[in-house]
Amino acid sequence: DAKTTQPTSMDCAEGRAANLPCNHSTISGNEYVYWYRQIHSQGPQYIIHGLKNNETNEMASLIITEDRKSSTLILPHATLRDTAVYYCIVRVGNNDMRFGAGTRLTVKP
C-alpha cells in the first residue's frame, strides 16, 4: 500500500475552514484515498473517500490533485467538536485500512 505523510499537528480558528494536507506520492491508479477522524478514544469515524475526482459530503470536501500524489481534506466551518486526530489512508484491493499517526487538529475559539 502507498504510504501517506501528514503534518503531526495543526491549529484552526473556530468558524474558519480547516485544510488538512496529505501526501501520497507513491499512490497507484487503483488506490483510494480515505479520511477518518478519531475524537479522544472513540471509534474512528469515516469522513470521506475518493479515487480521482474531488468529493464533497455533509461533513467535508476532499480535493485530490490531478497527479493524485496529494490530497486535502477541507472542513468548511470548523467547530470545537472537530478537534480530533485526522487520518489519511490509501487503500488498495481487498486490504484492510492501515492507519498512520495522523494529524492532530485543534480547533481554537
User: Which residues contact other proteins by CB under 8 A?
Assistant: 30-32, 34, 36, 38, 41-46, 49, 51, 87, 91-101
Grid-cell match 478519531, residue found? 38
Nearer to other proteins, 5 or 77 (CB): 5
- The minimum distance between CB 106 and other proteins, in angstroms, equals 19
Nearer to other proteins, 40 or 66 (CB): 40
Grid-cell match 459530503, residue found? 57
CB-CB contact of 31 with 91 (8 Å): yes
Nearer to other proteins, 51 or 80 (CB): 51
Write the single-letter amino acid at 68. R
CA distance 43 to 109: 25
